[in-house]
């Protein structure tokens, strides 16, 4: 099994700075990927392209109850070293 292939994903960064949306960039599913990215943007998120590995580390799994950010622009997950 080879691990040399680098996979990328698009993430949606919430206004609070947390990554709460992500979609793996798969060429065969380009249409679905574009649709997901468009939805992230509609939600006011900033789109960034990262490796799947980075996303796995930086994705914020903390629930934002009633839209309140428990990290207040200082998401601990974002600090993960690449």
The length of the chain is 82
Q: Which region, judged by CB under 5 A, interacts with Zn ion, from 4-12, 24-32, 39-47, 55-63?
A: 55-63
24-43 positions binding Zn ion, by CB under 5 A: none
| Half-sphere exposure of residue 78: CA atoms within 13 angstroms, side-chain side | 15
Q: What are phi and psi of 9, to 5 degrees?
A: -140, 155
Among 11, 18, 22, 36, binds Zn ion (CB under 5 A): 18
Choose between 57 and 71: whose C-beta lies nearer to Zn ion. 71
Taking CB under 5 A as the rule, does residue 47 contact Zn ion? no
Q: Which helix (H) or strand (E) holds 56?
A: helix 52-58
CB 8 within 8 A of CB 50: yes
Q: Which region, judged by CB under 5 A, interacts with Zn ion, from 1-9, 27-35, 41-49, 68-76?
A: 68-76
Binding site for Zn ion (CB under 5 A): 16, 18, 60, 69, 71, 75
């Amino acid at each position: 099994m080879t691990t040399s292939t680098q996979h990328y994903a698009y993430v949606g960064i919430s206004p609070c700075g947390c990554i709460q949306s992500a979609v793996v960039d798969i060429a065969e599913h380009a249409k679905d990927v574009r649709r997901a990215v468009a939805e992230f943007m509609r939600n006011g998120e900033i789109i960034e392209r990262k490796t799947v590995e980075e996303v796995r580390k930086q994705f914020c799994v903390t629930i934002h109850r009633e839209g309140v950010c428990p990290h207040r622009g200082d998401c601990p997950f974002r600090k993960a070293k690449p």
